[in-house]
A and B are shown apart, each in its own frame.
Chain A
């Protein structure tokens, strides 16, 4: 679990490089990514629900991105995009496709529905935290 969190830090860090985020913000982006993945793993372990874990983790990531963007005076997208990338259901997409390939339609429906749920949950948390009236200026 610790190893995965550390990996999440570096994965997000180098993802931020791919997005050409300036050097000053890179460490913060990595930190948000690691934090989000830690919360995710923790809640998967506690509750066993992938969708719930995604919800809480995405909530944490978008709140922290909002706070960092106010403190560091950069647009919230810089932190949000790089932080949320760990949660983007790439694995779900792949498993759905794989199940479809092996003509296992029960699994296809399962993973497909789960991927859609995760995507929906992430969207809702971003909507939720973006609508919160913290900080007078929009960033």
Chain B
């Protein structure tokens, strides 16, 4: 019975990590480390970006397997760090199973940064990246506005549980059209720098980094699937921006 509780705890810890954007090998490692506490004969964990499978077996019990499907993923690196820390303390015997489970639930309930901070940060990310890529002050202000619009748009679409690729496509369109509009209205603004800065919040940094790190650790399946995710996100953004620019150029005639 105790073993089953341990397995549930391990799977829940893995689920939270995987949902929050941890690398696949780290999730596997964490589950196996938690399960190793009870010195069972058989411990197997198999993790892909969309699901977790774990099996334990021992002479004293029936073989038990638990499967967990992961659907909605978001980026919560704070949770990854906390669960990682918790699993370490648990395996070192510094915390009991009951307390660890309570703490894990508390981590799961942790709120992200408030909505207005997210909106502001998206705007500032866009603005500062425009500056990084050599935009002037006017470009940065336009990017700030685009970033804020983008974050508000993302918030409403995420609430409706829309596919990530559609959000990125629409985000690309939004960035392209606002950038095109403002560069026409305000003199001395650069379309390139504004768009490059503004697409940064959409760029799939987590997917790319995790794809590489999973591949190194031998999780080839996860590496490939994350790379495909990153590739399609990039294509979605490029299509969104591209369509708008093409229409814009067609209407106004020629390159800006």
Q: Chain A residues in contact with chain B, CB under 8 A? A: 3-4, 7-8, 10-11, 14-15, 17-22, 25, 37, 73-75, 77-78, 80-82, 84-86, 88, 90-91, 93-98, 100-102, 119, 122-123, 126-127, 130-131, 138-139
Contact = CB atoms under 8 A, between A and B. Distances in A.
Contact of B199 (A17, A77, A94): A94
A17 B113 contact: yes
Given A10-B124, A20-B77, A22-B78, A80 B199 contact: no
20 contacts: A4-B131, A7-B132, A8-B128, A8-B132, A14-B122, A14-B124, A14-B128, A17-B118, A19-B206, A20-B112, A20-B113, A78-B77, A90-B196, A90-B203, A97-B241, A98-B192, A101-B245, A122-B212, A130-B213, A138-B29
A91 B23 CA distance: 26
B255 A131 contact: no
Interface string B200-214: 110101101110110
B245 A75 contact: no
Contact of B241 (A21, A73, A91, A94): A94
B121 A17 contact: yes
Given A77-B23, A127-B212, A20 B78 contact: yes
Contacts of B132: 4, 7-8, 11, 37, 86
Interface of B: 21-23, 26, 29, 75-82, 84-85, 112-113, 117-118, 121-122, 124-125, 128-129, 131-134, 192, 195-196, 199-201, 203, 205-206, 208-210, 212-213, 215-216, 234, 237-238, 241-242, 245-246, 249, 255
Contacts of A86: 132
B197 to A, nearest CB: 8
Given A4-B131, A11-B128, A130-B216, A80 B209 contact: yes
Contact of A85 (B78, B81, B205): B205
Contact of A4 (B80, B134, B195, B201): B134
Nearest to B124: A14
Contacts of B245: 98, 101
A21 to B, nearest CB: 5
A21 B78 contact: yes
Interface SS, B side: helix
Contacts of B212: 122-123, 126-127
A7 B131 contact: yes
Contacts of A90: 196, 199-200, 203
Given A73-B85, A78-B81, 19 more contacts: A7-B129, A8-B132, A11-B125, A14-B122, A17-B117, A18-B118, A22-B81, A37-B132, A75-B77, A77-B80, A77-B213, A81-B77, A86-B132, A88-B203, A88-B205, A90-B203, A93-B238, A101-B245, A127-B212
